A = this chain, B = another copy of it.
């Protein structure tokens, strides 16, 4: 009694049926048969979907996530990649913290206009110098956002 049809998988995983079909189309998951037309899934797909969701949250693209599942069914994330991602995340976190603190400061700053606030001006300058300067560190990934978790 183990096959689940797509509706049940959708309900239990929180992903919509269209998403599940999409994931199958791009090779992220596999259905193991049909009941009439309906895709049937092995319950293990739920774990896989959790892993996928986790990967998305961590900022991996679906393509990258797909690469983490080996040819066999087992999970296979190179530890070095994990560390790299964690480091990247750490850098991102630092930047966001700076930004957050600056925003708070500006919000509380008594200067009549934000433009008069020294902190705000400093922030502005740092932003524009990063762009105009075109330093080596300026990545251009435009990867989708770490979703709200």
Contact = CB atoms under 8 A, between A and B. Distances in A.
A82 B114 CA distance: 11
A89 B92 CA distance: 12
Given A93-B97, A96-B146, A114-B77, A58 B103 contact: yes
A82 B107 contact: yes
Contacts of A92: 96, 146, 148
A131 interface: yes
Interface in A77-120: 77, 79-80, 82-83, 85-86, 89-90, 92-93, 95-97, 99-100, 103-104, 106-108, 113-115
A145 B145 contact: yes
Given A82-B107, A131-B53, A100 B95 contact: no
Quick one: copies of this chain in the complex?
2
Interface residues of A, number: 60
A79 B110 CA distance: 11
Contact of A93 (B85, B96, B142, B147): B96
Contacts of A124: 47, 50-51, 54
Closest 8 CB pairs of A and B: A14-B131, A145-B145, A82-B107, A89-B100, A86-B103, A50-B128, A79-B107, A14-B132
